[in-house]
Amino acid sequence: MHFTRIFVLAAIFVGAIVFNQSAVMAQNNNWTHFRGNNLDGISVDNQVPEKWNDTTNIIWKTDIHGRGWSSPVIYGNQVWITSSTPDGTEMSGICVDFNSGKILHDILLFKQDSIYQKHTVNTYATPTPCIEQGFVYLNFGSSGTACVSTGDGRIVWKRDDLKCDHVQGPGSSPILYKDLLIMHFEGGDQQFLVALDKKSGKTIWKTDRPEECYRDLGPIGKKAYITPIVVNVAGRDLLISNGSAVCIAYDVKTGKEVWRIVQGEDSTIAMPITENGVVFFYTGFVTPPDGEKYAELMAVDPNGTGDITNKNIIWRVKSPVLQLLTPLIKNGIIYTVDSRNNLIALSAKSGATLYGKKLTSRYNASPVYAGGFIYFTNVNGETMVLKAGPSLEIVAINKLPGELYATPAIASNSIIIRTERSLYRIGKK
């Protein structure tokens, strides 16, 4: 809409400045989901340290009881994570003060006698919470989901009736969309997405994965661990979700399928990513007539309806199966480490490899970005810091004690890192 009166334009301009400054300040202070406020791993902060160790640039360190690979989420002066006893009988939500590292809340949320199986690498507290002003939402897969008041630690509502056979444990993280809390339950027995009223916990919609895409798969092949994203396509918000056999775009308000791309016969883990109107995602396994299994990273035009498998794929690149971390995309470059420990940068436009390097450790945590740098953390507690760009430049390799599987969070020019026993706030001192 165009306005001709100068005073209206001036008012809009000033208002835009105030709004943008407020939005940036809110982003700087918060990290609300797995991979951040926009589910993309990107922070607007530009003074995050590039170098540290267990004594340098450590603002605080807090030991955390139990075991869990959920990533930290941040709102204001609170950092929330989940944890469970190693045997999975008790599951808790833990809140740490962002400024001091002091534990503010330690809330037992679920107790259970019957424990489902999981992979030895996984934990019973792997899904990352999501948070907003006043409330945090903590999910433990089939063990339950809880909404907690961040002000006093009061449990607002709980659900423990949403079930699936996780086979190797839960991994999908919940996301917030307006008044909805959206979650994935994709097990060996059933695969569905569900949207709850975030205020009450009541089910708004529930959608099963299409049976025809899964009927020929074994139980383990039906399992997925992905967290979805929401993209706006031609004025309509779509939930993009790549399961083990099919990637589907759903109307996020209703759960109705809009389009699908069919490919895969086993687990997907990495979540979709997007930039400049293009969606990128890893497929499940493909078994060729001869040779070894592979997956593919696909670039897709998200405009369309129905089966767009043969219509909307812009490019596809073969990849080893079981892509664990979610790539980061920034300024037309996709940064990833595949399941064979290959660091790769790809052109988002063509899929061409810009550079590659063989690494010696596994990288399960997803990379994050701040101030022109990409932060990759490996399972041995090391964080490799790269300068963003089309050529490889390793700035630093930083080491903390213990294993590290959780994706870092960034807020207020600090990086929050969770190791197997501790939570660290790292910032320039």
pLDDT in tens, 288-320: 988 899 999 999 999 999 999 999 999 999 999
Written as six digits, the tokens of 365 are 């945590």
Q: Which residue has the higher pLDDT, 11 or 390?
A: 390
Domains of the chain: 14-427 (2.130.10.10)
State whether the Cα torsion 116-118-120-123 is positive or negative. negative
Q: What is the pTM of this model?
A: 0.92
Three-state DSSP class for residue 75:
strand
Give per-residue pLDDT as tens, 130-186: 999 999 999 999 999 999 999 999 999 999 999 988 888 889 999 999 999 999 999
pLDDT value at residue 162: 95
Structure tokens at 429: 């001192």
Q: What is the mean pLDDT of residues 319-342?
A: 96
Mean of the per-residue pLDDT values for the chain? Answer: 91
pLDDT band at 188 (very low <50, low <70, confident <90, very high): confident
Q: Strand, helix or coil at 175?
A: strand
Q: Can you tell me the mean pLDDT for 319-343?
A: 96
Q: Are 150 and 95 in contact (CB under 8 A)?
A: yes
| CA–CA–CA angle 299, 240, 354 (5° rounding) | 25
Average pLDDT over residues 33-39: 97
Work out whether the CA dihedral 40, 46, 47, 50 comes out positive or negative: positive
Percentage with pLDDT > 90 across the chain: 82
